[in-house]
Amino acid sequence: MDFTLDEDQREIRDWVRTFVRREITPLEPEVLRRERNGRPGLTRDELRELQLKAKEAGFFGVLTPQEYGGMGLGAVMTALLESELGRSFVPFRFGGYADNILFHGNEEQKERYLLPTISGERISCFAITEPGAGSDAKAIRTSARQDGSDWIINGEKTFITQGNDADFTMVFAVTDKEKGADGGVTCFLVDRDMGWKSEPIDTMGEWGPAALVFEDVRVPKESVLGEVGKGFQLAMQWIGQGRYLLPARAIGSCERLVEMAIEQARTRVTFGELLAERQAIQWMIADSAVEIEALRWLVLHAAWQVDQGMDSRQAQSIAKLYGGVKANEIVDRVLQIHGGMGYTRELPIERWYRELRLLRIYEGTDEIQRRTIARNLLKGHAKIGGSLV
């Protein structure tokens, strides 16, 4: 078994590592200052500028197929890059990305939604969650009824990432109540100027999601993405596209946090001795290092399965669950090692603490991942031992 990166992988990873160190990390004090004043850490223009800088070096559309101008790097490489980006809390991501389900659009939809999303001219949002339906996504009630050749959408979505900035949404609505998720949910591509409204939701994180309201929003039949009644499968495809990428980013954050803890332990003296000499502190550092390594291999293994075209759902759920739980334990330990200073807003630890908490909630909570993992085992869809059986 060969765990080494090949030359290309190392070169790409190192380029991103340097980019983060030179271009992203220096922005941190300003990003923190702005966020403390209730402003976004990066403006849309600043993000675009950074993305263009990366694009000049060829970094654009990491996962986007080459025929659409992307790099088409694959899952393992993307996971490696994502963990490098996670080393900073600056909300940077490479440009050239589009939601995987937009590739299911017809030619006209690709022109109108997919290509401008890849180029960064348009912003999308994915809207399935409702006040009464989160983990139980099959319980959505937003409806779309036919009126002539149009559809009329009514309902409310909640916690929609980028919902305040989006130019259009991929919204999921019930088109056949009897069939429900099994053939009765449809995905619509709906421009903001077709009439939906958004309302920011204040959260403990720095980038707030939005509630979306649809009141008799009339859309033409051309707005249907994929087939009428096949929306739930598209939603699951969207959610499943990159579950491994969320814990991948957390690897970088945890590495950086533990480096801070090591530095603190090496310099802070209590009762005449460095914290580094205390077993209680050493164990916190050791446990964190072990867990980061375990997480790295869970993430890379899940990504490897994606690249092999295998059914990676079990591996992705395992990586997402472990990443969410362990990243939260690690940031808590690092905060503890910093004592009172860890609790202040002078250091970014509390910011990471708030951000990493989300990992246990969105794109499937811890409990839902456990439910999936256990069900797969109990029903015989997966075996203990993973892909090495």
Ligand X SMILES: Cc1cc2nc3c(=O)[nH]c(=O)nc-3n(C[C@H](O)[C@H](O)[C@H](O)COP(=O)(O)OP(=O)(O)OC[C@H]3O[C@@H](n4cnc5c(N)ncnc54)[C@H](O)[C@@H]3O)c2cc1C
Residue type, 47: L
Q: What is the rounded radius of gyration, in angstroms, for the C-alpha atoms of the chain? A: 22
Q: Does 160 bind ligand X (CB under 6 A)?
A: yes
Among 209, 242, 323, 324, binds ligand X (CB under 6 A): 209
Task: Kindly give, in sequence order, each residue whose CB lies less than 8 Å from that of residue 190, ignoring residues fewer than 6 positions away.
Answer: 153, 168, 169, 171, 196, 214, 217, 219, 223
Q: Where are the alpha helices (DSSP H) in the chain?
A: 7-19, 28-36, 44-56, 75-85, 107-109, 115-119, 231-240, 245-267, 279-307, 313-337, 339-343, 349-357, 366-378
Of 323-362, binders to ligand X (CB under 6 A) are 358, 361-362
44, 120 contact by CB (below 8 A):
no
295 binding ligand X? (CB under 6 A): no
Footprint of ligand X on 140-159 (CB under 6 A): 159
367 counts as binding ligand X under rule CB under 6 A = yes
Using CB under 6 A, which of 43, 203, 282, 308 touches ligand X?
203
161 lies in the binding site for ligand X (CB under 6 A): yes
Q: Choose which of 371, 376, 386, 387 interacts with ligand X (CB under 6 A).
A: 371
Q: Which three-class secondary structure state does DSSP give residue 74?
A: coil
Verify binding: residue 196, ligand X, rule CB under 6 A. no
Size of the site for ligand X (CB under 6 A): 21
Smallest distance, ligand X to C-beta of residue 334, A: 22
- Work out whether 321 is an interface residue with ligand X (CB under 6 A): no
Q: Which of residues 20-79 bind ligand X (CB under 6 A)?
A: none
**Closest approach of ligand X to the CB of residue 199, in Å:** 14
- Quick one: how far is CA 18 from the chain centroid? 22
Catalytic residues: 363
225 strand-pairing partners = 187
Name the residue among 303, 292, 312 with its Cα closest to residue 386. Answer: 312
Site map 98..137 versus ligand X, x via CB under 6 A: ----------------------------xxxx----xxx-
Question: How many other CB atoms are there within 10 angstroms of residue 334's CB atom?
Answer: 26
Choices 188-196, 282-290, 331-339, 365-373; region in contact with ligand X by CB under 6 A: 365-373
For ligand X, the binding residues (CB under 6 A) are: 126-129, 134-136, 159-161, 203, 205, 209, 358, 361-363, 365, 367-368, 371
